[in-house]
Structure 1
């Protein structure tokens, strides 16, 4: 089985009443030590609970590790101008030794719109702004000349290797975005059957655009507590087209990372 197992770093929480803020250096080193494939940071300016800055978190994780992938899960691209986002990404790619994966999304409505308003971005425009940024992001990251949405011509220096990009979201606009711009697609807590059905739609859209088929990343999948049964579920995810699973810590990140490593060892 080739499904990768990653974990969210303890820098945010899906439950606002139980913030998970812990030592990024220790958790990243431990994830690498126990053999996990990747560590990830969530991203927002103002969320429903405490959340650290994603780029600073990933730079810290990269600085104290050697092998493990570091990734945005997911960068809210429209909160930043495209050029600034690209600068953050290519700097992190260079500093990490090309270990970055870039997840892109438009944000969970559960967090509301205050973070967008604070950044001077119209919440209703975030999809359009994300599409416009994705259209030029690879060229900007790579240090190639790019023409921004307002007509500005820009070239970043130095450039870097463009990291793999996956696009998150469950609606048709997100599906089209993934098909047009993504190397992969991401979703939260879907079953293998749901993943397969969504990928069928996305990959038909990709084929219509002359682009290759995508595989999926599933965040917080509903896995059984029993490791043997969870391994069977992971096999079903792989058959559905999943390349990567990302698990959230529930409070005790050390315990949760050990469980993730147990899943990894059982593959």
Structure 2
């Protein structure tokens, strides 16, 4: 099982190097126009992470092409793939909320069709082929290798998008049994050996300054509306050994890659603990 981490706000040069030094497999950034909290542009931020690391994968968790002109979105993705030495993992979703789409000048009701168009055309655009978008014929250069495309979120339409266009499924905040169910449904849709990545939240180690599992579950309940009894089963807390044991159940359910958003202070200490989890999980 591979293990990655969401980069925190702050100096990305330092945090990306810390994640690589800890032995993690990937670093990710979310893609938000505005959330009420400070956030960096995902493509610029990952370009910084790529520039100061050598082997760790860089990932978008998840990129929302529907909020952008498609040719411009393809150019951003191609640039990241080029400058990172083909280390990009391209998570794609259609979320972001009505306010973000309004700020981008894109009708919220068009997010589904625009996402489908992006998934259909991005591989051709990245490969440098001529692609018709509306009245324009677009040919981008330099051409790049198409990165792994992980389709984010959950639901039947998401799984259909994985089957039609993706190389993996990338839901967040799911228990292992739901991951296993999604894998079975993908198999029914004819997807052979899909790479399943799962987004998780956690606070590793101990100390009064770190949020507890109950604290994290309350946050999940407030932000996502998930019932508290369900949310309580999701946070990753405690020792590296305890977290590795929890993640092993995700591996048994079919998850090949876990991406953790660390909560609370002492990020550098927590990411070192996450590195110990990675070592315990083995190859």
Normalization by structure 2: what TM-score?
A: 0.83
| TM alignment of 1:10-21, pairs within 5 A | 10=8, 21=9
Matched, 1:35 2:23: yes
Aligned residues: 247
Partner SS, residue 262 of structure 2: coil
Residue 238 of structure 2: which of 222, 225, 228 is its match? Answer: 225
Partner SS, residue 44 of structure 2: helix
Query: Partner of 2:93 in structure 1?
Result: 105
Q: 1:147 Cα deviation (Å)? A: 2.4
Query: Partner of 2:272 in structure 1?
Result: 258
Q: 1:152 Cα deviation (Å)? A: 2.8
- For residues 39-98 of structure 1, what are the alpha-carbon distances to aligned partners after superposition, in whole Å with 9 as ceiling and x for unaligned? 000001112322110001000000011111001000011011111111111111111111
Normalization by structure 1: what TM-score?
A: 0.88
Query: Partner of 2:52 in structure 1?
Result: 64
**Where does structure 2 lack aligned partners over 5 or more consecutive residues?**
202-233
Matched, 1:46 2:34: yes
Query: Partner of 1:9 in structure 2?
Result: 7
Structure 1 stretches of 4+ moved >6 Å = none
Structure-1 separation of matches of 2:106 and 2:33 = 12
Partner SS, residue 254 of structure 1: helix
**Where does structure 1 lack aligned partners over 5 or more consecutive residues?**
11-20
Aligned alpha-carbon RMSD (Å) = 1.4
Partner SS, residue 113 of structure 1: helix
